[in-house]
Chain A
Amino acid sequence: MSGNWLVNQPNSRPDIMQLKSAIEELESLRFVIEALPLQSAPSRHYLMALHWISEEKAIKRELAQVVSAMHFIEANEPLTANIRINLAQIRDIRGTLRNIKTGSTPDDIELFELKHFWLLADGIKRFLSDAGVELICLPDMGPVMKILDPEGNRIPTFYICDNYDDELAALRKAYNNAHQRGEKALEEQLKEAAIQREEVVRQHLGEQLHVQYNALRHTMDQLVYLDILLSKAILFKQWNFTCPELYGEGLTNYHGLFNPLVKKILEAKGEHFQPVDITFGFMPTLITGANMAGKTVLLKTVALSQLLVQFGFFVPASEAVIRIVDQVMLSVGDQQSELQGLSSFGAEMVRITGIIRTIRSGKKVLALIDEPARTTNPTEGLALVKAIVELFEKMKVAGLITTHYSGTDFTCRKLRVKGFTETDIPEDISIGNLIRYLDYNLVEDTGESLPHEALRIAGILGVDNELIERAQYYVHEEDRVKK
């Protein structure tokens, strides 16, 4: 996981992150995006080119559109199905549109594609106007229809018909006569003339379509937008995502936050994902808790939600209030850094440097740091965590930092994952059913002492008994010395 979300992409606004680079960074985001039931061939390309939005108004507008789409689907189920059937038939005609834009002469296949597309678009426009809904805005379909369907029979087939040109019609008639009379030489001559005349007609059609390029392009964009919008509405309803409220400078507050990817994996194993509630402001919050208590998943889920909302999506929670930021920065260790030749500590320091640099540049950052400095010695490690927390406090950075380092030394707000409930842990507990006995809820941490659950979990994981007994001896020894 790189600490820098600002990956440069060759697009119209290279400084702004696109969805296609965001999904590379966060697997659960990819999971949500790939679950969208898109219909039309070019939709995925458009979706991947979506830009990160940091203006609250623009996000609100987009979320409101999704809400409208949900209402539309609920009220017009059969109509939605018909619109989606039309959308599913839309081909990727971006190449053809590019040719029209440059003014090159289209061939019959391109003209067929455009006519096929335009008839589908016209059908969708009629469906929407029958329902009196304005989810999208389509142009007057008439001018392009006249070019592509001069006979007005609305059949999605294409050839250069006689109606296009009197001279062509005459040539064809003469050719047919020669063909029937068996005059081979004349036949060939007329065929050649007809083929050349067809090309003149195509050139003329290309010029007319070139004038209509903006209408064509706009229609394509709008239909793809409609496809994405309907797909979002369908998916969010199915997956119980919620439309978040946005607060410029308030607290971020999730109720019933869940990770759809982890939820699905657990459900496949017959287990159940425990949604959590979390509130945080524009000050760092330290999160402690046992191993396997879901701290990393929590950070990734908070990152996922922030990314989703700032790409105009609903979030996986039952209720959510979200503060909009300029950038989400997540630091979670993984094996990739080692593959790049950096030690895990080195890679982490690079990520944290990136985060601090971005904060210093004046950007509003949501910093999510998983167990910083866990791979170095405890003395300096603790010092580093303290320094990060203090720096974030000083610069008023919204951040969640997970750690195993002792909580007493920190002045900032502290949360703890409850972990094992105090009720009896049954004998048959194992790695497979462990999550049933863990409480993933967060509580304010009073900070006296960290729960000693690592060895308990190691035992459940089946770690060698002698190893655990020896470790337990040293834990007791230290507690005794402290007293």
Chain B
Amino acid sequence: MPFTGDILNYGSLSIVGVEKNTGKTECLNYIIRRLRDKGVSIALTSLGIDGESCDQVTGTRKPEIEIFKPMMFVTSESHFRQRRFLAEILDVSGRSTALGRLVTARALESGKVLLSGPSDTNSLKNLITGLKSRGVELTLVDGALSRKSIGSPAVTDAMILATGAAWSANIPTLVRKTKFICDLIALPSIEPILRDRLLSANSICSINTKGVVTNLQINSLFGIEQKEVDLFGHGFTLFVPGAVTDKLLNHLKVLKDIVRIKLIVRDFTRIFASPEVYAQFVQRGGTIEVLLQTKLLAICINPTAPDGTVLNSERLREALNERINLPIWDVRKLAG
């Protein structure tokens, strides 16, 4: 069966939907079912509150996650109380989320649960580390790819991307957008020594060829094209903790030193630029690297959108395969 063997090479995996209703949950349920008999200690959690049993935007029912004995799971107090299967509580977090504290538990029966979890990257990272120390070999994270989210699924070692008709009903557009996300996920990571130094940085920093980091004492690059700021006085590598926008890339791509300019971002979710502007920036010689990199293992497609659109599954798969060199599966076929 597809991709389950590969997953076991990683300590953590996020399943990320590019949009609601792209089949993320079906994909996650599929993986859980495939892994239940593999003798691997598994934990499940979510990035943020994504577990409403009913999708609040479209009104479609959001499937719960199916869990089997003796998997561990982490969810909020209120979602924990809603479950109907027997579970042994292992820990209750000190910090509270919008839905209460996080409960870590072990399923003693199989059953269904709504997952919610830490909403910021660091807490998720700590949670995964904590689960590892409890003997968990693989943590599965129900991820979200939202610009509003302060958490990034890039903290997991590996990732599966769910895309589909809910994002675009036009196959070429859907392929182009999906390919762009894949390119961003594949951005190279910087060397580990520099990464450790930048992980805690919160402001824009310049890095020279010797690896010396200089804080530029500016909080935001917003409106940078109008400001008299020498961004590259210390070096041509620039760490940007916040969002990378079209405006910034447009500003940089016309500079004469563009081939020497390297941007470092926390992870691919921080790049808000459009595919076109990003492409121009890269074509002119600019480079972008990330602090946190994750390995994209496969793509799940859901050809059905909540508005009733149904794309041809085979044609979509083929079109994606032409541009993206990764296993691609139709989530409905997986479920069946």
Contact = CB atoms under 8 A, between A and B. Distances in A.
B92 interface: yes
Contacts of A116: 92
A108 B84 contact: no
A172 B109 CA distance: 10
A166 to B, nearest CB: 17
Contacts of A158: 88-89
> Looking at B77, B80, B86, which has the most chain A CB atoms within 10 Å of its CB?
B86
Contacts of A41: 94
Contacts of A475: none
Contacts of B108: 159
Q: Interface of chain B, helix or strand or loop or mixed?
A: strand
Interface in A144-164: 157-160
Nearest to B81: A107
Nearest to A116: B92
Contacts of B154: none
B77 A157 contact: no
Interface string A108-139: 11001100100000000000000000000000
Contacts of B265: none
Interface in B52-102: 77, 80-81, 84, 86-90, 92, 94, 101
A180 B108 CA distance: 15
B92 to A, nearest CB: 6
B94 A108 contact: no
A218 interface: no
Interface residues of B, number: 16
Contacts of B92: 91, 109, 112-113, 116
A191 B94 contact: no
B84 A157 contact: no
Contact of B89 (A91, A159, A191): A159
A195 interface: yes
Contact of A112 (B89, B106, B109): B89
A314 B62 CA distance: 60
Contacts of B87: 159
A41 B93 CA distance: 12
Interface in B185-223: none
Contact of B88 (A91, A159, A176, A191): A159
B102 to A, nearest CB: 11
B94 A159 contact: no
Nearest to A161: B88
B103 A91 contact: no
B103 A109 contact: yes
A176 B92 CA distance: 28
Contacts of A191: 84
A157 B88 contact: yes
Contacts of B88: 157-159
A113 B101 CA distance: 12
B84 A109 contact: no
A92 to B, nearest CB: 8
A159 B77 contact: no
B333 to A, nearest CB: 25
A4 B267 CA distance: 55
Contacts of B101: 109
> Looking at A41, A108, A179, A191, which has the most chain B CB atoms within 10 Å of its CB?
A108
B210 to A, nearest CB: 31
Contacts of A113: 92
Given A91-B92, A109-B92, A112-B92, A159 B80 contact: no
Interface in B106-132: 106, 108-109
A4 B55 CA distance: 57
Given A109-B103, A159-B89, A159-B108, A91 B94 contact: yes
A107 B100 CA distance: 14
A109 B77 contact: yes
B107 to A, nearest CB: 10
Interface string A20-49: 000000000000000000000100000000
Given A112-B92, A113-B92, A157-B88, 10 more contacts: A91-B92, A109-B77, A109-B80, A109-B101, A112-B89, A159-B87, A159-B88, A159-B108, A160-B86, A195-B84
28 contacts: A41-B94, A91-B92, A91-B94, A107-B81, A108-B89, A109-B77, A109-B80, A109-B89, A109-B101, A109-B103, A112-B89, A112-B92, A113-B92, A157-B89, A157-B90, A157-B106, A158-B88, A158-B89, A159-B86, A159-B87, A159-B88, A159-B89, A159-B108, A160-B86, A176-B109, A179-B109, A191-B84, A195-B84
Shortest 9 CB-CB contacts between residues of A and residues of B:
A112-B89, A159-B88, A158-B89, A157-B90, A157-B88, A108-B89, A109-B92, A109-B77, A157-B89
